[in-house]
């Protein structure tokens, strides 16, 4: 029966691939976390117009952080139901509803709150 002894240095090298995989997973997780953050302001001028019209009619919506919109589904020249989400206090979300007509004119229709408003 032949027994081989392993030095401490060999033990370290045996675990190196595992550490590399773990490091890659951590980097992937961190980059996914960074990419998941929404922009502070909408990238679409029409989504910003929706927010501007909503805050003009509903002062309590002013200064709420931007969350998201569905402008990626918009096709120019087609009527469209634009939805813009603002974050409220607590876990509340304010879902703005705007209509875009075939000429590209936007009109604010109202909003619905989901979640609970804290404070």
Total of domains in the chain? 1
Residue 64 belongs to some domain of the structure:
yes
Give the tokens for residue 109. 């229709």
The CATH number for 97's domain is: 3.10.450
Query: Is it the case that residue 77 has pLDDT exceeding 80?
Result: yes
Residue 109 belongs to some domain of the structure:
yes
Residue 73 belongs to some domain of the structure:
yes
Residue 4 belongs to some domain of the structure:
no
- For residue 50, the enclosing domain spans 45-114
Which has more confidence, 117 or 68? 68
Residue 102 belongs to some domain of the structure:
yes
- Which tens digits make up the pLDDT trace of 33-61? 445 555 688 999 999 999 999 999 999 99
Residue 79 belongs to some domain of the structure:
yes
3-state secondary structure of 55: helix
Residue 40 belongs to some domain of the structure:
no
């Amino acid at each position: 029966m032949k027994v081989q002894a392993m030095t401490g240095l060999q033990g370290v090298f045996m675990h190196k691939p595992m550490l590399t995989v773990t490091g890659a997973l951590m980097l992937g997780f961190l980059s996914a976390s960074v990419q998941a953050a929404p922009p502070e302001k909408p990238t679409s001028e029409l989504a910003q117009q929706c927010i501007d019209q909503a805050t003009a009619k509903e002062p309590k919506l002013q200064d709420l952080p931007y969350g998201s919109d569905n402008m990626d589904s918009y096709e120019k020249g087609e009527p469209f139901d634009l939805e813009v989400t603002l974050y409220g206090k607590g876990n509340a979300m304010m879902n703005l509803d705007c209509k875009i007509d075939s000429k590209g004119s936007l009109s604010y229709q109202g909003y619905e709150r989901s979640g609970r408003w804290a404070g």
